[in-house]
Structure 1
Amino acid sequence: MSKVYDVAIVGAGVIGCAIARRLTLDGARVVVLEKAPDILDGASKANSAILHTGFDAPHGSLELACIQEGYKEYEELRGQMNLPIDRCGALVLAWTEEQEARLPVLMDQAHSNGVEDVAPLSRIETLALEPNLNSTLRASFRVPRESLIDPWSAPHAYLLQALLNGADLERDCPVLGGQFDGQQWTLTTPRGDIQATYVINAAGLYGDKLDQMLLGQSSFNIRPRKGQFVVFDKMSARLTRHILLPVPTETTKGIVVCRTIWGNLLVGPTAEEQEDRETASLDHDTLEMLRAKGAEILPALASEEVTSLYAGLRPACEHKDYQIKSHPESNMVTVGAIRSTGLSSALGTAAHVGRLLEGFGHQAQPLKDPDVPQMEMLAANQTRDWQRAGNQGILCHCEKVTYREATAVLNDPLAPKSFAGFKRRTRATMGRCQGFYCGQAVQSLLDQKGLKHD
């Protein structure tokens, strides 16, 4: 803790991880401070894992600009880092006369947003593409470049690249206070004081609270929005080829039905505002509603088995756009209210933050030949480690996780400190049996590293 950093990033969600990567590659001395035992433990641990084009983002918004820049950079680096993508495309579905009337408006918005390849489809054309859809469908349009990705391997790759190239990460390290002396910040943490020239607030669900702590005020108020999901067995993935989207409303993108990169099929999320920033509880009636909604869209889903249920919180606020604010008088940038599109926009948001720091006068020498991590491929449609020789056997049979994969994760620079973190890195115990068969073997492996079951 004796180092003086150029930048301290508070929060290791997908946004904080992407910013850490960008600034480290730009030549900054970076430290990431995360209050949880592992990264992605807040809003980033639960989402629908879609890489959005921004076709329905508010025109001219900062959100749209970050999504589009982020999409482009993900495409550029995914091959280098061995990150997956499933270019399945999306269908925006209209079930009522009113929704059908909205389709041309949404397509015009997509065109205005630079997404020119959307195409209208009649009822017959849509059903030809997706024969398992409810026949009461009226019309749709297709967004070809909407894709599925792994929501956890991507931010792990971003932060791992930062660490390999000189950044530091402090976990179990909440920021308790801070002082700015006109040139440098001193942040108070349980691990001692941390000095940095600049502070980036990427605290997600606590972004407004951190602003109030460090700046004495906040220009936005986080209103946690809970999303619940139902995940169906992998046999269900055969029922659809596309991401199935509803006509969005003013407040939410609505309930989505889509495959996952791991070969399941999910239905969700809901959009439920609450005060609690920590707990995303599951509600039986709501989950039954989601199952019914899924079966309403894909009738054959009514007889499919459910593998798991989960819920997450999104850091929504009273404003529609991202709340990215520069505070040059305090050498601080706030990256707040990054809602459901954070996974798609993260790399673009990071580039935007880098430009804001340059506006503050921050200068550094970009790294000439940075190390690039190679992530384990977990996508169901790609070659996996269990198919290769010398993998030391299977640890989790449902998700086909090998001992070699698990051991590599437990020994890399971003090794998990918790059972939840291990699951996100490997998917062990996240399959159909939910750890019934592999739980003991997983715990034995974690015991060797001193990690306990949550």
Structure 2
Amino acid sequence: MTLPPDVPYDIAVIGAGVVGCAVFRDFSLSGLRVVLLERGADILSGASKANSALLHTGFDAVPGSLESRLMQEGAARYRRIHQGMGLPLLPTGAVVVAWNAADEAALPGILERGHANGVHDVRPMGADELRAREPHLAPEARGGVWVPGESVIDAWSAPLGYALQGIAAGGRVLRRAGVRGGTRDEAGTWRLDTEVGPVAARLVVNCAGNQGDIVEAIARPSPFEIRPRKGQFVVLDKTAYRLATAIILPVPNERTKGVVISRTAFGNLLVGPTAEEQPDRERAATDTAALESLLAQGRRMIPAIAQETVTTAYAGLRPATQFKDYQIEALPKEGWISIGGIRSTGLTAALGIAAHARRLYEAHFATLPAFEEPEGPVMPNLTEELPRPWQEDHREEIICHCEMVTRREIAAAFDGPLPAGDLGGLKRRSRCMMGRCQGFYCFRRVMEIAAPHLPDLVSPLGGAR
């Protein structure tokens, strides 16, 4: 839906992370004219591109908090729609492990908090049951709290699916469309100054993540301050997948949930994250000392990790604020909805946040018609849970042998209404160059397929295309 610059959209959503994509989806499905503005070359270019890919139950959230409620609502909505969209759900369960007497003393409080959050199947797990379930854990493990509802998902296909559903309902996605400022006229219409030209909208929803307080200042002095919190992760080779069946959680502290060991939907084992506050909102660099510390902690929990090799490491920035809870509110006088401080639980809560934003819209702006959840589109399977194209008869050639990605899958990433906008977007849509060699062997072949669609890429023969 392309509108002339002087015809306003009903809603402009700023930021195409997982929360922005979910909000865009729900408002588009409600029949509104919606535009999603992303400053990166592709969706998920900010905080949402790097996380632990877990679907949480909310058992350990602060009882009564907005975060707790929206995590549970978001997880429930994901569970209702994931099959119709072909999105994975690996019900691994999780165990909060006590490693010492202080951890053991904290377990009853964790159990009580889980029950207070309505997660009633959380229960104690003795040392013998824990060792039977997770035989590779170090002998120091004293028992824990079992959380059967925790799961692993594909963190990239879900928000892409949300965005595609919004587009199918009539919404529009603009990339490389960073918002530089805006004014609101006497008629109540926002005139946003973006990198692709002016965009008019009657209402703005701020989902800008690590830029959230900067964008908020367009409407008012921001009541929250983004304090980026870096999380570094280590991805172990696929041979390490067998070392943990459940998500292994530590007893958390006031600042962080601590280092987690988890399977991934792509057949690896993940160790992380760190929790490091930094002033830089853009750069999430890994460093050797932090990664070695992560591996050391992983080896203390599962000694056999010492015999495994590392596929890669990555880091992401979570948009933490000075507050523990989400910062979400409607500003009726300003024609604005603020969604800030979502942090690491945003993947789980995204659909719950979208539903909450819709409720705020109805409470303060206008009534919306109910909508039925659409069935599609069905997203390509990137996980090891289901058969993949390389296993089919008469498949096309395999381009990326580490992750078994075919030519057809790479080409398909550039089809449809929201094709990959950069190399990161291509990787997130196909898994190419994300395996053990990190593109060392397949880089040239991938570039030959991708370069006609991505003019900003550097040619494998040198020089810009």
Name the TM-score class by shorter chain: over 0.9
Q: Deviations over 1:326-376 (max 9, x none)?
A: 111111001000011000000000000001011123234455685721100
Deviation at 1:382, TM superposition (A): 1.2
Mapped to 2, the partners of 1:230 and 1:257 lie a distance apart of 10
Deviation at 1:453, TM superposition (A): 4.2
> Does 2:235 match 1:231?
yes
Which AA in structure 2 matches 1:70?
A: G
Aligned to 1:310: 314
Secondary structure of the structure 2 residue equivalent to 1:410:
coil
Which AA in structure 2 matches 1:112?
A: A
Mapped to 1, the partners of 2:431 and 2:307 lie a distance apart of 25
Distance 1:451 1:388, change over 3 A: farther
Aligned to 2:245: 241
Mapped to 2, the partners of 1:338 and 1:123 lie a distance apart of 35
Aligned to 1:194: 199
> Does 2:311 match 1:291?
no
Out of 9, 12, 22, which is 1:5 matched to?
9
Out of 372, 378, 401, which is 2:376 matched to?
372
Aligned to 1:420: 424
Superposition pairs for residues 116-155 of structure 1, below 5 Å? 116-155=120-159
Q: Is contact 1:243–1:257 with CA below 8 Å preserved after alignment?
A: yes
Q: Is contact 1:237–1:259 with CA below 8 Å preserved after alignment?
A: yes
Q: Deviations over 1:47-92 (max 9, x none)?
A: 0000000000010000011100001000011011000011000010
Secondary structure of the structure 2 residue equivalent to 1:340:
helix
Aligned to 2:108: 104
Q: Is contact 2:411–2:450 with CA below 8 Å preserved after alignment?
A: no
Aligned to 1:77: 81
**TM-score, normalised via structure 2 length:** 0.95
Q: Deviations over 1:193-235 (max 9, x none)?
A: 11111100000001011111x1230111000000011100000
- For this pair of structures, how many residues does the alignment match? 453
Q: Deviations over 1:87-145 (max 9, x none)?
A: 00001001110110100111010001000001211111111110000001111111001
> Does 2:227 match 1:261?
no
Which AA in structure 1 matches 2:315?
A: A
Aligned to 1:32: 36
Out of 377, 392, 396, which is 2:400 matched to?
396
User: Alignment RMSD, CA only?
Assistant: 1.3
Mapped to 2, the partners of 1:247 and 1:320 lie a distance apart of 18
Q: Is contact 2:127–2:142 with CA below 8 Å preserved after alignment?
A: yes
Mapped to 2, the partners of 1:82 and 1:408 lie a distance apart of 16
> Does 2:385 match 1:406?
no
Which AA in structure 2 matches 1:185?
A: W
Mapped to 1, the partners of 2:206 and 2:229 lie a distance apart of 20
Secondary structure of the structure 1 residue equivalent to 2:165:
helix
Mapped to 1, the partners of 2:132 and 2:378 lie a distance apart of 39
Deviation at 1:256, TM superposition (A): 0.3
- Structure 2: which 5+ runs fail to align? 459-465
**TM-score, normalised via structure 1 length:** 0.97
Out of 142, 164, 169, which is 2:173 matched to?
169
Mapped to 1, the partners of 2:145 and 2:310 lie a distance apart of 29
Mapped to 2, the partners of 1:143 and 1:238 lie a distance apart of 20
Mapped to 2, the partners of 1:444 and 1:250 lie a distance apart of 49
Which AA in structure 2 matches 1:49?
A: A
Aligned to 2:463: none
Secondary structure of the structure 1 residue equivalent to 2:337:
strand
Secondary structure of the structure 1 residue equivalent to 2:45:
coil
Secondary structure of the structure 2 residue equivalent to 1:176:
strand
Mapped to 2, the partners of 1:238 and 1:149 lie a distance apart of 18
Q: Is contact 1:165–1:371 with CA below 8 Å preserved after alignment?
A: no
Deviation at 1:390, TM superposition (A): 4.1
- Structure 1: which 5+ runs fail to align? none
Amino-acid identity (%)? 48
With 401-410 and 318-327 compared, the bigger mean Cα shift is at: 401-410
Q: Deviations over 1:404-436 (max 9, x none)?
A: 222222111110111111011111000011111
Q: Is contact 1:161–1:371 with CA below 8 Å preserved after alignment?
A: no
